[in-house]
Structures are given as C-alpha cells and as structure tokens.
Amino acid sequence: MSNDLISREKITQEISEILADVLISGFRAETISFDSINHRIQECLKNQPTAYDIDAVVEQLEKLKQIEYEKEDECDDEGRGDGEQIFEDGVSHGKYAAYRKVIEIVKDGGNR
C-alpha cells in the first residue's frame, strides 16, 4: 500500500459495513475467521480511490507557472504598468516565484 491520501469518512463507513456484516452473521469462529475479516479490511483499504491526487495538482500548477512565465511584459521601460516589477530574466517576480514555491510544497506534502 502506498502513502496515498484517502477519504477518512469513506473508509470509516466501509469498515463499519464490514464489521456490521460480521455481527449480522453472528461471528461464529467456524464461519468467519479473524483472517477473513482482516483480509476484507485490507482489500477495502487497497481499493480506496485516492481523495487527493498530488500529481494532478502539480500538473495544474505547472501549467499556471508556464502561463506566467510566457506572459507578455506589460511594463514600460521604467518598470511601470502591470503592477509587478519585471526582472532581467523576463519573469515577473511575484506569481512565477509563488507557483514554483507552491509546487515544491505540494510535492513535499507540506512537510517543510
């Protein structure tokens, strides 16, 4: 199992349903074993859809970062015009740098 983020609410509901099935069946050692219950819960966990797809988020942020990078310089020769200073590399200081930082944070899972 990977470290995917899954919905706590959804998994709690599904495990509750498994346990309810066990109780309804009367939980007799000869009909339902601990191993079979454990197997059902493990399968439930493995089959949970990801609630948060880091790769999809990073992909969207990369697109926004590229749009910012390719944005036309709307400033005059003295740097006035679009409200952002344009540096010698042609990248607006604020948004592009912010997208880069946000992508780093998302990839790291917020563990900085």
Are 6 and 49 in contact, with CB atoms under 8 Å apart? yes
- 8 versus 29: the higher-pLDDT residue is 8
Residue 26 sits at the vertex; the CA angle it makes with 40 and 8, to the nearest 5 degrees, is 35
Task: Give residue 107's identity as a one-letter amino acid code.
Answer: K
Are 82 and 76 in contact, with CB atoms under 8 Å apart? no
Percentage of the chain exceeding pLDDT 90: 4
* pLDDT class of 1 with cuts at 50, 70, 90: very low
Full-prediction pTM beyond 0.85?
A: no
User: Which two structure tokens, joined as six digits, stand for 48?
Assistant: 């949970």
Per domain, the residue ranges of the chain are 8-46, 54-108
- 56 versus 78: the higher-pLDDT residue is 56
Q: Give the residue carrying structure tokens 């880069």.
A: 100
